[in-house]
Structure formats: structure tokens, C-alpha cells
Amino acid sequence: MPLNLERLSLERRRPAAFTLVELLVVVSIIAVLIGLLLPAVQASRAAARRTQCASNLRQVGLAMGQFCNAHRGQFPDTSHNQAGDVEQSWIYTIAPFMESVDAIRICPDDLKAADRLDQKLTSYVMNAYLTDEPRSFAVTNHNKLRESSKTLVAFEIADQKAPIIENDHVHNHAWFTSLTVARKQVLQKIEADAAIERHAGSSHFLYADWHVGPTPAVTVAEWADTQTPTDNFCIPK
């Protein structure tokens, strides 16, 4: 009898342990919780990058506004296809107005962000209708705009565009032509130059009153289908 009591006492003192089944159940629950949590974390990070991009473009716009004020309303120049001449780029000439902070000119969701940063380039491309390359409907001076809040200044660059100085602006005067409109190729031309769904199906546009507007890709697609060479969203207002 004493031996049985001693054995019973020892068994009671032994710590309880998980069985294999219980351990598998716990692991499965943890895996499910992680699976539920990861999309939320990824969505939160994407939202943070989207907000950072909008903030960067807004600061770029404010710097361009100061440049225009300092140059009697004239918009900064673009590279004009002068290969390798970074000093001809508008992002270079407005740098002093944003304290030359490199990170401001880069979108964190740009797939070539590191390369553009290294080459002193930018994730944002300027509307060619605001440069002094001669074309119909161009307005190269901010003071001559009638509706700055409706005039587009810059877009987000398409991921496939190479990190070279020639790509500091978009040839959006070639998006809407009689031929591209007739062949329904306008959207294709836009997507070759500008990212229109980088941020959950939308992208950021900078306007000449220096506000940044998120624009859904479906809206751009609608514009591509309905607008004309003489009446489209790229033409300064």
C-alpha cells in the first residue's frame, strides 16, 4: 500500500504534456491566424507606400511651383532627348527648391526605384504639353493657364521605362492622334509611358495647383475610349 501511494504522488507531480494531436491542433491554429494576419499587414504596407508616393509627388509639385514663381511662371525644361545630360532634366533643376532630398523624387512602388535614384532620375514624368517642344495646345508658362486645378503636370512613370534621362517626360502629345483614336490604341500608348494602376488599380496625377489626385485606371481607360486629339485630359486648361 505505501508503494502505491508513493507512485500516485509521483504521477500527480508530473507536469502535464501536450499530446501529438494537441500540438498539431495548436500549430494549425497558429498557421490560420498568420494566414489571416498577413494580408492585413501587406495591405497596410501597400497603403503606406501609396501615401508616401502621393506625399513625394506633392512635394515635387510644391518645388515646381517655387521654380515657376522664380522664373516668371515658366515651367522647368525637360531633357529634350539630349542623351546623358542630367542637368537638362526638370527634376534636376527644381532640386534646390526641395532641398535636394533624393527620396522625394522616387515612388516606393516603382519597380526601378533604386536604379532611378542611383541615376539621379525620378519616378515622375512631366506632361510634354508644358515643355517648350513646339506642338499645338502647349502652354509653357504657369501664369497663362486658365484652370490650374484641371491641368496635369506629372504622371507616375511606367515600370518598363528605362532609367535614362530621356524618360523624364512623356510623349503624351502622341497618345491621342487621329490614328491611335481610330485604331483604339490610346490606352496602349498611355500604358507604355505612364503607370496607371500601380497603387491598387490607380495612380497619382499632379496638377498645376500642386494638388495630387488619385486616378483609377478605369477612369483613364474611359478617357482613352471617349476623348479626341483636340479634347483630352492631357491638354493644359
* Residue among 119, 122, 136, 21 at smallest CA distance from 63: 122
What is the signed CA dihedral for 131, 211, 56, 188, rounded to 10 degrees?
Answer: -60
Q: Count Cβ atoms within 10 A of the Cβ of residue 143 and give its class: 0-12 exposed, 13-18 middle, 19 or more buried.
A: exposed
Q: What is the mean pLDDT of the chain?
A: 87
Nearest partner of 77 among 129, 122, 132, judged by Cα: 132
Phi-psi region of 73 (alpha: psi -120 to 50; beta: other; left: phi over 0): left
The predicted structure's pLDDT at residue 148:
96
pLDDT of residue 1: 45
C-alpha–C-alpha distance, residues 158 and 155, integer Å? 9
136's grid cell: 499645338
* Confidence (pTM): 0.81
Pairing of strands 169-170, 124-127: parallel
pLDDT digits (tens, 9 = 90+) for 1-12: 454 555 545 455
Residues 34, 27: Cα–Cα separation, whole Å: 11
Q: What is the pLDDT of residues 194-207, one digit of tens each?
A: 999 999 899 999 99
More confident residue, 46 or 40: 46
The H-assigned helical ranges of 81-172 are: 90-93, 113-118
Name the helix (H) or strand (E) containing 181: helix 178-182
DSSP letter assigned to residue 81: T
